[in-house]
Structure 1
Amino acid sequence: MNNCHTSPSTQWLLCDIQGQSYALDVQQVLELLSLRDIHITPIPQTPAYVEGVISIRGKTLVILDFRTMLGMQSMRQDTAEILQLLHDREQDHVNWLNELYASVRESREFQLATDPHRCKFGVWYDALMSDEEALSRFTNDQLSLLDLMSNFDRPHQQIHKVAIQVGELVAQGAVEEAVKLIDKARDTALRELLDLFGKAREMVATLRRGVVIVVEFEGKRFGLLFDGASDLHDFSHGTRQSSEVVGDDSPVGDFLHDEATGILVQIIELGNIANQHRTRQIAPESELAADADVPVSEQLESVAL
């Protein structure tokens, strides 16, 4: 990389994808929109990175998925997989307790995991909660979801502990006491666990929707879909470093380095995106009826997920 001075613009909007920030020249940013407030209509027979179009102030605007542009799975697909995982792990524990009950009634050995760290959910949960970056990506840095996930540990351990206690009772010939213990667990620990799974799915579906950043480059206006937009950063005392590993038509280019804070982010190349968008003729030119007159710094607060 070769160092050079920053561009005339020193204010950059930091846009987030899977915990990684990318920089948009704030002078090219028109508006920030939360996906909680808008509906994207798909466009048939378009490239994968074209999320669709939205209607805003009576005009249509094409929305491009920045994740897909970078070769990543879309946030929509990512979220769908998380929701399915949570559903499957919830059903695992319903089946687990049913099997424990059946093993007692049928006088056979219970062969499922009694260690809460060895069941499928336990392995996934332990890995997630011990990896700060993975947890940040999963929760999209939302404290409410982070707090909720931390609540899984106690009831999850309790329900697995029941299998040990049931085994001891059965060994003593106290089969009916073992059955009562399972029934109690179904009404307490399992119910609490199922409630947490339900709340987690609801929060994931609500919080992991993303933000659309409306931009303009040489008269071309379109929306870019990101996981979130985290901050406005002043790189007036930083350097711009050329990248030697990206192609000429890449959606990202040089790096911005703030020597004071150590922040290093890659610049989003709107010119390359606009040229690709124009070449493919995805949709007619779209014009907003009016620009948002609210400063970007204030819009950041309104789209906080």
Structure 2
Amino acid sequence: MSGQNIDSLFKDDQISVITFSTREATFAIPLEQVKYIEKDVKRNINVGKLDRFNHEVITYQNNAVPLFDFSILTGSRSQFEENKELIAMLNDREKDHRDWMDALDSAIKNSTPFTKTTDPNKCAFGVWYNQFTTNDSDLKEVLDKFDEPHKRIHALAESLLNQAKKDQTQALTALEKERSTTLAELLRLFETARERVRNSDRPIIVFVEQNDNEIGALRLDNIQDIESFSRKDFSRDTSTEGIMKKNKTDFVIEGFLRNGDSAPCMLINCQPAN
């Protein structure tokens, strides 16, 4: 198929698109340009680094076609990268609380000052926890369960250090009980949260028809919906012309689609007219 200008994308002043998003924006691809959609099962092959728009190769109907990571094309962070960073952070914060309990144990045994924070809102995890938001309802459900055991952990310092002044043995016994209950619960929640983050990484491969009947593929973090827009819902925006223009993959942002007061999405033409 030869290139299509924006007018030819609308049939009877209507266009159907699949929508998807990055952290920065929502995008749309004309449904008529989509050939096939599948889960990313890592059957692609990495090729040598070509340029900053480095691509991989994947097969479609027994033919090798280029596979582009959409996050790289747009210079945004992929869900995989964000999840990897979040998991690393959860690992670090879990270690913090293991170390916190060890420090409390040492302070009780040796009658030395306890220097870790006793305020659950001021430790590194607490600061992150109080400001973090997510649209993942399953992850939010897990994170909500952190509140009680996390606060209880930090409250141990004052109560057990005071108890140790009267009876060190009882304080250490109580601490060991809290290790096997409250700390164990907190550690289970860290693992559950990490598992939920891992499971949320489900990229999608969309095969699209480009110019001259060529097939290309895009790796997306998600697909949101199939929507229809009228010609009056479209507006050009020259400020988008720099996005993806430097690569040679023939993916061009034509402008914006917007229904009423909903957030706009950027319309990608996989078959731009020359």
TM-superposed deviation, 1:214? 1.4
Letter in 1 for 2:89: L
Partner of 2:223, secondary structure, is: strand
Describe the superposition over 1:126-176 as per-residue Cα deviations: whole angstroms up to 9, x where unpaired: 1104xxxxx12xxxxx432221222221221121111121132134x2222
Q: Does 1:18 align with 2:35?
A: no
1: CA distance, partners of 2:153 / 2:232 = 53
Partner of 2:194, secondary structure, is: helix
TM-superposed deviation, 1:56? 4.9
TM-superposed deviation, 1:220? 1.9
TM-superposed deviation, 1:24? 0.8
From 183, 191, 199, the equivalent of 2:192 is: 199
**TM-score (norm. length: structure 1):** 0.76
Unaligned runs of 5+ in 1: 130-134, 137-141, 276-305
Letter in 2 for 1:7: F
Letter in 2 for 1:85: M
Match of 1:160?
A: 154
Match of 1:176?
A: 169
Contact 1:237/1:258 (<8 A) preserved:
no
TM-superposed deviation, 1:189? 1.3
TM-superposed deviation, 1:205? 1.7
Match of 1:188?
A: 181
Contact 1:148/1:200 (<8 A) preserved:
yes
Contact 1:18/1:227 (<8 A) preserved:
no
Letter in 2 for 1:123: V
Match of 1:112?
A: 116
Partner of 1:108, secondary structure, is: coil
Contact 1:31/1:213 (<8 A) preserved:
yes
Contact 1:38/1:54 (<8 A) preserved:
no
Contact 2:254/2:268 (<8 A) preserved:
yes
2: CA distance, partners of 1:224 / 1:188 = 47
Match of 2:270?
A: 270
Partner of 1:228, secondary structure, is: coil
Change (3 A) 1:98 1:55: farther
Letter in 1 for 2:10: S
Map 1:92-131 to 2 at 5 A: 92-129=96-133
Map 1:211-226 to 2 at 5 A: 211-218=204-211, 219-226=213-220
**TM-score (norm. length: structure 2):** 0.84
Contact 2:16/2:226 (<8 A) preserved:
yes
TM-superposed deviation, 1:224? 0.9
Q: Does 1:242 align with 2:245?
A: no
2: CA distance, partners of 1:86 / 1:51 = 31
Change (3 A) 1:178 1:79: same
TM-superposed deviation, 1:240? 0.8
Contact 1:162/1:181 (<8 A) preserved:
no
Q: Does 1:228 align with 2:233?
A: no
Contact 2:153/2:183 (<8 A) preserved:
yes
Instruction: Decide which structure has the larger Cα Rg and report it.
Output: 2
TM-superposed deviation, 1:237? 7.2
User: How much is the aligned-residue C-alpha RMSD, in angstroms?
Assistant: 2.5
Contact 2:24/2:76 (<8 A) preserved:
no
Describe the superposition over 1:239-273 as per-residue Cα deviations: whole angstroms up to 9, x where unpaired: 211112123627433001112x524111123246x
Match of 2:87?
A: 83
Letter in 2 for 1:99: A
* Number of residue equivalences: 258
Partner of 2:238, secondary structure, is: coil
Change (3 A) 1:149 1:53: farther
Partner of 1:235, secondary structure, is: strand
Partner of 2:216, secondary structure, is: strand
